[in-house]
């Protein structure tokens, strides 16, 4: 089954695809670092709360409920940390690929980005079950942004491949031994 995706000529109607891809890469790296920081701080607060209330318990909750909720929060935070580390690594891959003008690296990023998109959708499901609804909405917006960025990066690597193909074709015809030499006719 073939899925047709749109192809952009410009990023956000004003930037070139290369510049837009670099902006996407750098902003993604910064956002993933911020998300890692926020998730780590949240995990630290959960750990300290659980440690301080382990012996005395929490009002209106049994110790079993308290342990179950704590475990679910640990699992959710660990999953989020893994997703954001993966997001940082592939964003770094994107920046390197665009700077080196390597369409193959951008193709790897696109495939890794599709996997990230699936992880982000799974994160939406996990946050729906374990976290607050506001977190779910923000993660859903993140999924839409990832999808837009993937279309943009795909357009960039297709443009890079098209730019490199004519040069290869010209080089092949330049040294063709079967081609007759140029002669001037008067």
pLDDT tens, residue by residue, 135-147: 788 888 888 888 8
Are 143 and 120 contacting, i.e. CB atoms less than 8 angstroms apart? yes
In a domain, 125, yes or no: yes
Nearest Cα to Cα of residue 14 among 106, 152, 111: 152
In a domain, 64, yes or no: yes
pTM of the model: 0.72
Structure token pair of residue 69: 């909720």
Are 152 and 15 contacting, i.e. CB atoms less than 8 angstroms apart? no
In a domain, 170, yes or no: no
| Angle at 51 (CA atoms; ends 85, 82), nearest 5 degrees | 10
In a domain, 171, yes or no: no
pLDDT (0 to 100) of residue 182:
59
Percentage of residues of the chain with pLDDT beyond 90: 16
Are 46 and 70 contacting, i.e. CB atoms less than 8 angstroms apart? yes
pLDDT (0 to 100) of residue 50:
82
In a domain, 35, yes or no: yes
In a domain, 98, yes or no: yes
Task: List the domain range (segments joined by +) for residue 156.
Answer: 17-165
Structure token pair of residue 151: 């279309």
Query: How many domains does one find in the chain?
Result: 1
Taking 3-state DSSP, the helix, strand and coil percentages for the chain, each rounded to the nearest 5, stand at: 80, 0, 20
In a domain, 183, yes or no: no
Q: How far is CA 178 from the centre of its chain?
A: 48
Q: Please, which pLDDT band fits residue 38 given cuts at 50, 70 and 90?
A: very high
Residues in the chain, overall count: 186
């Amino acid at each position: 089954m073939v899925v047709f995706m749109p192809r952009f000529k410009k990023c956000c109607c004003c930037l070139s695809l290369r510049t837009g891809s670099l902006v996407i890469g750098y902003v993604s790296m910064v956002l993933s670092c911020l998300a890692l920081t926020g998730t780590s701080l949240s995990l630290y607060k959960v750990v300290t709360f659980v440690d301080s209330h382990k012996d005395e318990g929490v009002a209106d909750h049994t110790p079993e409920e308290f342990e179950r909720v704590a475990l679910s929060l640990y699992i959710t935070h660990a999953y989020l940390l893994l997703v954001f580390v993966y997001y940082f690594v592939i964003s770094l891959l994107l920046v390197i690929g665009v700077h080196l003008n390597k369409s193959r690296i951008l193709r790897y990023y696109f495939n890794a980005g599709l996997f990230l998109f699936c992880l982000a959708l799974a994160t939406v499901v996990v946050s729906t079950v374990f976290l607050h609804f506001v977190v779910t909405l923000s993660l859903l917006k993140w999924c839409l942004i990832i999808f837009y960025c993937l279309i943009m990066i795909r357009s960039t690597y297709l443009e890079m491949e098209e730019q490199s193909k004519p040069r290869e074709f010209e080089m092949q015809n330049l040294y063709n031994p079967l081609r007759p030499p140029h002669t001037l006719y008067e």
